[in-house]
Amino acid sequence: MNPKPSILLVDDESAITDNLAPFLGRSGFSVTVASNGEEALEKLATQPPDLLVLDVLMPRLDGREVLRRLRQAGDWTPLILLTQVGEAGERAMALEEGADDYLNKPFDPHELVARIRAVLRRARPGRPPLSAAARLACGSLILDRTSRRVRLDEVELELTPKSVLLLEYMMTHPDELVSRERLLDVVWGWDYPVGTRAVDTRVAELRRALADDPAKPCYIETIPGQGYRFVGTVEARP
Amino acid sequence: MKTWRWVIALAPALLGSGLALYFFLSFDLRNDHIVYLRADLGTLSLLFGLGLSGLAALVFVLLAWAERTRKRIAESAAEERRRFLRRLDHELKNPLTAIRAGLANLADSPSREAHQEALASVEAQALRLSRLSADLRKLAELEVRLVEHSPVDVPALLREAFGMAQEQAGADERRLNLSIPQAPWPLPNVQGDPDLLVLAIHNLLENALKYSRPGDTLELRAFEDGTDIVIEVADTGPGIPVEEQPHVWEELYRGEAGRGVPGSGLGLALVRAIAERHHGGVSLRSRLGQGTVFTLRLPVG
């Protein structure tokens, strides 16, 4: 068992890898760097890392294409995408294509370390992550990610697209403390100073629809002053 | 108005059919009401030629006019772009200069304290640039992304934005009033994205808080006007000079009073973009020394 998780960092901008690699190294990871998609695929074949941090916009072979090829070949190496476009559709696509998580540039490097740790903790070697599943189930709650429909006890719930996006993120990251800022970024692609209230409103809407008691939650638990956590057990359904 | 041109084109046909209907209804068609036109071939050719030339001339005049309008629009777009680039350059210059100075300090770093100070300053400036980039992305995205269309309870929206404003810095030194009409009926819903609308109202309130002075009064109010809901943020602040008023909604614009006030310079541009995505609009009235009213208009849906 290797005590230091290995990370392959892929970005064509050397200013980013030059600064990020030593930072990740000091945070307790052993880091290898690749500067484009092709090089990344080569390094993946020769020395498979525990986790891949992949920039989306790269010359030759972009991050999305690398991700697609890996997943098509049945390679489920945990992967975090670094996106620059905050478009909600783009983010949803990143998750659908089997990225474990994503982060918008410019980001706080500490946030990247937190994401890496969370993904590594959740990863089950060789098996697809929850974020690659077409349907997610938690007891009688079923989220169909392709049709964007949510059913509870066989009854379809009326939810706004943003609430579905929020629930989707919580369910693909179960048992993980997710900050309000992070959720805002997930649903909106950007945060604003007081926007964390908007997250509370959405969570309240979800809880009402799910008939979830905040004092004794089956699904979403409030961590006072920090954020939310999905407490149910989530499994992937075909 | 482009649609009006069709009416112009249709006018002769309408006139002709009107006259035909009139003649048809008012005369029994006896022989003496039939007009026979006689012309020699020369006159006929002349009139036909003149008519065609006149028509062609009219078409050319219209085309030239359209071309000129197009050029004017292109020029003003180019000017807007130049202005935006100048302002962006300006917004980038200051944090970058500060970062370079901070890095120079770090390199010499006479003491540990000076080291810490320089580090903190560089970090603050990097954050400022991150915020600018985030705001620019918001604006760019707002123009293309799908806006949620759900019924939005306006009083709840106002209360939420007002609650946030009360918690902001400087709020306790100003009088904040919220007025929501109840009679004769409560405000109807608007169709839209509640998060974006809260952000718009919040930006207006934040702006009013930033540019007013302690002791000033701020008002958030709303009323129904025809098919619109009008939301106003009014203050008894210093007011905006007339020549600056048309520019305040522009990206990265800063008036005289705005120099040195923190913010990305994109707050009001965001408000305008949000209003436009909801098929609404923004406007302002201001008097120097008396105050300003910012107005957000949203169609009732």
Residue A27: give its domain's CATH number. 3.40.50.2300
pLDDT of amino acid A26: 94
Interface contact B145-A88, CB threshold 8 A: yes
- Give the phi and the psi of residue A133 in degrees, each rounded to 5: -80, 145
Residues of B within 8 A of A188 (CB-CB) are 195
Q: Give CA–CA dist B266/B274, Å, rounded.
A: 12
- Domain assignment of residue A128, yes or no: no
Taking contacts as CB-CB distances below 8 angstroms, the residues of chain A near B198 are 197-198
**A84 lies in which domain range?**
6-122
One domain for residues A96 and A139: no
Query: Cβ of B251: how many Cβ atoms within 10 Å?
Result: 21
List, for residues B151-162, the tens digit of each pLDDT value.
899 999 999 899
Residue B220 has pLDDT above 80, yes or no: yes
Work out the pLDDT band at A191, boundaries 50, 70, 90.
Answer: low
State chain A's mean pLDDT as an integer: 86
Give contacts of A86 with chain B, Cβ < 8 Å.
137, 141
Question: Measured in whole angstroms, how far is the alpha carbon of residue A204 from the centre of its chain?
Answer: 22
B164 interfaces chain A, CB cutoff of 8 Å: yes
Q: Are residues A23 and A113 in the same domain?
A: yes
pLDDT score at A20: 93
Residue B292 pairs in a beta bridge with B235, B286
Q: Which residues of B touch A197 (CB under 8 A)?
A: 160, 164, 198
**pLDDT-based confidence at residue A160 (cuts at 50, 70, 90):** confident
Q: What is the ipTM of this complex?
A: 0.72
Residue A229 lies in a domain: yes
Residues A99 and A161 placed together within one structural domain of the fold: no
Closest chain A residue to B166, measured at CA: A194
Distance of alpha carbon B16 from alpha carbon B13, whole angstroms: 5
Looking at the structure of chain A, the number of domains it has is 2
On whether both A41 and A109 belong to a single domain, the answer is yes
- pLDDT class for A152, splitting at 50, 70, 90? very high
Could you give the CA distance from residue A90 to residue A186 in angstroms, rounded to a whole number?
11
- Among A88, A190, A194, whose Cβ lies nearest the Cβ of B134? A190
The nearest alpha carbon in chain A to B151 belongs to A160
CA–CA separation, A94 and A75 (whole Å): 16
Nearest CA to CA, how far is A114 from chain B (Å)? 19
Give the residue on B whose Cα is nearest the Cα of A200.
B195
* pLDDT for position B80: 87
Residue A106, chain B, CB below 8 Å: the answer is yes
Measured between alpha carbons, how far is B132 from B145 in angstroms, rounded to an integer?
20
Whether residue A48 sits in one domain with residue A23: yes
A189 touches chain B (CB under 8 A): yes
Whether A1 maps to a domain, the answer reads: no
Cβ pairs A/B, distance under 8 A: 38
Of A68, A98, A122, the domain-final residue: A122
Same domain, A44 and A76: yes
Distance from CA of B255 to the nearest CA of A (A): 23
Q: Is the same domain home to A15 and A118?
A: yes
Burial grade of B71 (CB within 10 A; 0-12, 13-18, 19 or more): exposed
**Which chain B residues touch A161 with a CB distance below 8 Å?**
148
The answer to whether the beta carbons of residues A20 and A9 sit under 8 Å apart is yes
Instruction: Give the chain B residue whose CA is nearest to the CA of A196.
Output: B195
Domains in chain B: boundaries: 1-145, 150-299
Task: Please tell me which of A91-105, B46-60, B80-94, B262-276 the model is most confident about, judged by mean pLDDT.
Answer: B46-60
CB of B137 less than 8 A from some CB of A: yes
CATH number of this structure's domain B150-299 = 3.30.565.10
Instruction: Round to whole Å and give the CA distance between B233 and B214.
Output: 17
Please tell me the pTM assigned to this model. 0.75
The residue length of chain B stands at 301
pLDDT at B31 over 80: no
% of chain B residues with pLDDT over 90? 48
